[in-house]
Structure 1
Amino acid sequence: MSNFDINAILRGAQLTLVGAHRALQNPALFTSDHYRQAVLAVVSGLAIRIIISIPVVVVKVLIWMLGLFMNLDAADWDNELIEGLSFIENSVLQVPFFLMSFMRFVSPTLDRMFMESLDWVDRTYIAKHKSDDPTKLRAMYYENLKLYSRHGSGEKKSPMDAALAFLIRYGRRAAISLAVYALSFLPLVGRFVLPAASFYTFNKSVGTPPALVIFGSGLFLPRRYLVVFLQTYFSSRSLMRELLDPYFSRVPYTKAQKKEWFHDRAGVLFGFALAFYAMLKIPLLGVLVYGIAEASTAYLITKITDPPPSPSAARDYAQSQVKWTNKHEFLSLPIHRLDELNAQLKPTAKKFIDEFPGKRFT
């Protein structure tokens, strides 16, 4: 469990709070453009709630019409049908989460928010350490990363192709989730389906002994709790991958390198995404929280990667980042000393020091 221990998960959850606090201090997030985006996010949240309620409303209308010809006062199946449909939409198929994630392909706002927040993180870091020895400060992230073109890894996709690939991934995941959920209703073997799925999932992430504990617990937990547990895990991982898209769409990682990159940081990434996923459940404001999560990811990236070099010198950068070299030092730091894990100062840091003489950032 070296990559997925409780300390790493808790540190990821702490980074959620610190990253959100740092992002919300950025005055660039409170421009008229971002205010409009915030209003659109709230409106989108309302639209999502309406969209996912349509099937339930249709079923209620059909049951009401059926009640005109039948006596349903003593029947319970109608309420169970409505509750079951709502549970499938929200917990099995994760429709609200899907709609929020798909908004990335409708507007480039989230990518701009990530880059603006990364710039703010750099500026804040320099301002907080302006009295320190410049040779002991870390290098900058934004100055070089902005020089990378999106999808510069040779796998350039049009927005339509990227959206289609996302729909295919979601459709495959939704089909598997629905099939597993349906199989759990089979007689005799059904009670083992969800525990077995839990074991298969977590055996690869946390190892066999913890996975066996999860399997054993799943034999006694109600089906509904197991579904929520599994989907929370999968959705948190999916959320983290979507939030990191602005970084990975610029830096040329291979699929194998990217897989190992995520594996080596699994605990921290899960803790970070899990905290935001819980906040995404807030009615109407979930989409707004998604934007804050994207801005906070800029802070996260400065803690779990090294600053990128210029694109011309990036040939070996991706491979050098596969292993998280300062993981143990970072996980052992107190929360108020997270900025003390520094790299060498690059020339861009001197530029920021000169640009903000005597200016304080909190």
Structure 2
Amino acid sequence: MSGFEPNAIIRGAQLTLVGAHRALQNPSLFKSEHYRQAALAVCGGIAIRLIISIPIVAVKFVIWLLSWLVDLEAARWDDIILSRLDFISTHVLQVPFLLMTIMGYVTPTLDDTFMQSLRWVDSTYIQKHKSDNPEGLRAMYYPNLRMYSTKGEGQSFSDLASASKAFVMRHGRRTVISLTVYLLSLLPYVGRFVLPAASFYTFNEAVGPLPALAIFGSGLVLPKRYLVMFLQSYFSSRSLMRELLEPYFSRVKFTKEQKRRWFHDREGVLFGFALGFYTMIKIPLVGVLLYGIAEASTAYLITKITDPPPPPAYSEEFAESQVRWHNKHAFLRLSLDSLDLYNIKAAGQELREKGDGREPQKKFS
């Protein structure tokens, strides 16, 4: 199952709730500039719904014109066209989700939200353990990470266009593939095997052949629309997680291969975390506001799946040291109320003692 262990996905879903709760406790999240951005987000959500409805309204207008020439009272093809057009725009092309993620490239608000929330996570951690021995506390994340430049080496800040182009190419390629697979699934005879085969190909590497075969078999029985929604939820959750982590990766520089291994080692937790927010973000209008909460919650997630960064002057080997999630199994075995253990070493020691049937020598909160 690689990194897609069921307990990793469940822990990721738990971090969605814990991270959102921690983020909403941050009073800085509700300052005036964030209220302004929230208002803009609502307006953006309304604009997104209008943009999505334009093709449907256009088709309805054409059908209305045809109704003057053809009797459509007994026909059902017009209803089929409209329903499929709405399904393709919402579930196949993921237009609402795509337009919302573009907002992160237009305004730096999400990056500010991430860093502000990271400072809040550090401060609440200190407050929670203010009576404990400072030597047992983990290092802080915000003070060092804020000193990292968000610019690439040798690049200027005006390279936003380059980043936006990479985003469009990445999502454009996925959109073309999704639309092609969906259209092929409409073919007679062979079409019913297209989506199950695509599901098997997608999940074989991620979760292994047996679960992939189970998904393939389910795809032969379930209605096509459910399989499309399942596949798009998987891909969109992964895409959402990459966008939410952009403030971290824009500072800590990973090579393409290092980033691939970083995600692979944490993919179960990341999928569980992103799937919860992806489901909420799909809610019309309100979903746009929840995107900011998802970004704030990602700051909490980072403190659980990475080590505190060193000062930039000592960061040369840091990225490579983070590729493997060293305390992964120890963290996945923690109870929900023990997620704020002091540090990796102490958490692993407590779990080993519990596994040996001994009482932990030190009680953690």
TM-score bracket relative to the smaller structure: over 0.9
Whether the aligned pair in 2 keeps the contact of 1:42 and 1:287 (CA below 8 Å) is yes
Quick one: which amino acid aligns to residue 217 of structure 1? S
Q: Which aligned pairs between 1:66-85 and structure 2 lie closer than 5 A? A: 66-85=66-85
Structure 1 residues not aligned, in runs of 5+: 345-362
Quick one: which amino acid aligns to residue 115 of structure 1? M
Higher relative contact order (CA 8 A, sep 6+): 1
Provide TM-score, normalisation by structure 1.
Answer: 0.93
Q: Distance in 1 between matches of 2:342 and 2:47?
A: 43
Q: Distance in 1 between matches of 2:90 and 2:189?
A: 27
User: Cα RMSD between the aligned structures?
Assistant: 1.2
Q: Name the SS of the counterpart of 1:340 in structure 2.
A: coil
Q: Name the SS of the counterpart of 1:306 in structure 2.
A: coil
Q: Which aligned pairs between 1:338-349 and structure 2 lie closer than 5 A? A: 338-342=339-343
The one-character-per-residue Cα deviations of 1:217-261 (angstroms, maximum 9, x if unpaired) are: 111111111110100000000000000000001101111110000
Q: Distance in 2 between matches of 1:154 and 1:266?
A: 31
Name the CA shift for 1:215/1:154 in 2 (closer, same or farther; >3 Å): farther
Q: Distance in 1 between matches of 2:136 and 2:52?
A: 52
Q: Distance in 1 between matches of 2:254 and 2:112?
A: 21
Q: Which residue of 1 aligns with 2:257?
A: 256
Q: Which aligned pairs between 1:1-362 and structure 2 lie closer than 5 A? A: 1-153=1-153, 158-342=159-343
Q: Which residue of 1 aligns with 2:362?
A: none
Superposition misfits of 4+ residues, deviation over 4 angstroms:
153-157
Q: Distance in 1 between matches of 2:39 and 2:192?
A: 45
For these two proteins, the number of residue pairs brought into alignment is 344
Identical aligned residues as a percent = 67
Quick one: which amino acid aligns to residue 33 of structure 1? E
Whether the aligned pair in 1 keeps the contact of 2:136 and 2:342 (CA below 8 Å) is no
Quick one: which amino acid aligns to residue 140 of structure 1? M
> 1:185, CA displacement in angstroms?
1.5
Whether the aligned pair in 2 keeps the contact of 1:330 and 1:341 (CA below 8 Å) is no
> 1:341, CA displacement in angstroms?
4.7
Q: Distance in 2 between matches of 1:155 and 1:81?
A: 47
> 1:151, CA displacement in angstroms?
3.2
Whether the aligned pair in 2 keeps the contact of 1:239 and 1:273 (CA below 8 Å) is yes
Whether the aligned pair in 1 keeps the contact of 2:2 and 2:206 (CA below 8 Å) is no
> 1:187, CA displacement in angstroms?
2.2
Q: Distance in 2 between matches of 1:151 and 1:322?
A: 21
Q: Name the SS of the counterpart of 2:221 in structure 1.
A: coil
> 1:40, CA displacement in angstroms?
0.9
Q: Name the SS of the counterpart of 2:340 in structure 1.
A: helix
